[in-house]
Structure 1
Amino acid sequence: MSARPDTPMGTAPARAVADARRETAPAPATAKSVARRRWRRSRLWVGLLLLALAVGAFYAATATGEDRTPLGPRNAAPDGAMAVAQVLGHNGVQVSPVPTLDAALAALEEAEDGATLLLDDRDAILDADQLGLLARASGRTVLIQPGQAQLKPFTDRILPAGVVPDAAAPAGAGCDLPVAAQAPRAAASGLMYRADTGCYGQETGAGTAYGYAVDGTTTVLGSTDFLDNAHVLDHGHPALALWTLGAEPTLVWYKPGYSDLAVAEAPASPFELLPDWVGPATGWLFVAATAAMLWRGRRPGPLVEEPLPVVVPAAETAEGRARLYQDGRAVGAAVESLRSAALTRIATRLRLGPAATAEDIAATLETAGYRPGPALRRLLFPAHVRTEADLVAWAQDLHTLEKEIGIP
């Protein structure tokens, strides 16, 4: 008599299956494993955050707030001019560093007893209009290594004349200006200028070029060595700096910054640069693209409902995969697929078991006398199949072997 399903004998297999599933089921994740997994996922972002914090802390700790502007009156570094500014202050000259054009104009206007404008626009930040404002507002002006654009609003008698290397020997004054008696020698390196009146000249093929040029109330300094901390004590630089910058009670020290860059009132639209035919052509292309989408996107008919799940015959899937291999010219993938299926069928036919390798199958077929060993290994290890023609010939030969073995 057979046992009923609800008896202990009938429930024993089900209980055994449940016990086996319980034993093979993965253990539940612990809090430690979850934390470890989350740490592996987020450790990159945590590392980047810590790196950003370290960089920010380094800059916060090393930032001193000191002026590092080249030739700045508050810069104590070798390329600064703090020494000259302090000496001028001790001699009764009010040194007024200004950061913007508006501040410079205001400082020049407020100087009642006269002021000297020291303009250091070596980066060519100011445009012609801004330089014109300074030229009209200033009385006495000192320009540091100006170019042609910076010279034009102030004087038309001083012109650039090239560059002298830093290794050049100091030059004698060679002029009758009052500064020559106080500073008989000075550095001759830097930019040189041609002028009617100048000192510390160098002879060139086109005439004499000066490192210190004067035209009325405009003075041009061609070398920063006259003022910077590293060279201010060389030769006659101290007297030259005091004589040039200390002529008025106030010295407006102005180095333009990028905030002084002139910005156009209304930036030009890129569409204004396009030819007139672009607009109509764009509209026509839009209409054509819309018509093409309506034409290609129309439905051939109503949607047909199909019950799920969909059953696809095996022959259709095999044919679809074969067409994909053909379209992609995937000869290697097709060979591996056919070879694997054939070896499985041959091993089943010869009763070799699922653990049999291709070598085992070839040895068994050779022992049974189906084909010689080299021919079998060439067939079961198709390294020579590289083209579609080779694939067709090899597949037919493999199919013939299966027929010889007795595989339907």
Structure 2
Amino acid sequence: MRAQPRRAVVGDGTTARTRARGRWRRWRWPLALASLVAIVAVAAALPQPVTSSVALAPDNPAGTGARAVAQILGRQGVEIRYVRTSGEAVQAAVAGSTLLVTGSALLGDDQVEAIAATEADLVLLDPDAYLLDAVTTAGEVADVAPAAGSSVRQAECADDDAATAGSIRTGGAGYLARTPDAVVCFPAVAGGAGAYLAVDDGARRVVALGDRSILTNDALTAEGNAALALRVLGRHEALTWYVPSSTDFGTEAAGPGTSDLLPPWAPVVGLQLLLVAAVAAVWRGRRLGRLVTEPLPVIVRAAETTRGRGRLYRRSRVYGHAAAALRAGTASRAAARVGLPRTAGAHAVIDALAAATGRRTDDVAALLYGPPPTDDAGLELLARRLDDLESEVHHL
């Protein structure tokens, strides 16, 4: 029979095995936390493509995005600057460059005037008559015609960019020239309104496309859409790609924020520290028992709460807050009715509701994202118009 090995016992009654077991109990959670932080750090350090879900954004790979044409332009030597505010767009739109404006529904008067004052060549997607007149020095050079169905259209004009494309598949609004300076191409019918407008007054070139989908990833390969997009956007080596945002109300370029002053690795380290703090709180936090119910001293009905909040809004004259609440509720319910997700952006909501109700996109945008009312009568009128819009959507 083999003798069992003797374990050395120190003065405090412990052995090497019991000391190792005690150290493991003390250090197992810190070691597990350190391993988790190391895994997160390695995952964060791996390169990931920067993408977004903004419609017509140059970094959106979805069907409604425009990443394909942006990548082709980049390979051709065009430097693209993607901005979401009019201040950044105006600051970057210098002479010898191109400024792309993907929509006019969210632009205010000051923003339109600032864009018109730039010296860059302009490419406008589905602009309204106000923006189109503002950016041309000759004034009203063309009329905006109603939208037409999507079809394959021939250039039928002398413009070089349109002639290179030959034919495109397009729909949307059309344009009718009023002066010799305006060139209209791709008409739906011979002699009718065209989906492409070019105005070159010598100072700069302004191009308007009545159909914004020409630049999208889904429609780029149709007919000569790609050729036309590359020609109008690639005339200069610098391209400012401006997608208006519903949160942009000014024309001044914002200065560097806190995130611009921090090193690139700061967000990753901050996320790791937040994760460490959360794990430590769960590890060392006090465990709570089961919930105990007790009768409330008073019951406040939901209708009374709503009326009370309304009285507070009225007494404080915060028409903007009240209007924002009405608009947010209408947009959320109407968007859900037409099948949009809760994360849908302003452009998607506007386009979907305009298509569902038959209203113009400018009217829907002004109703949901326009300036707030300044008195009781304006707030009451806004509430009635929002109710009418929601009623039209729910009747579908």
TM-score relative to the length of structure 2: 0.47
TM-score relative to the length of structure 1: 0.46
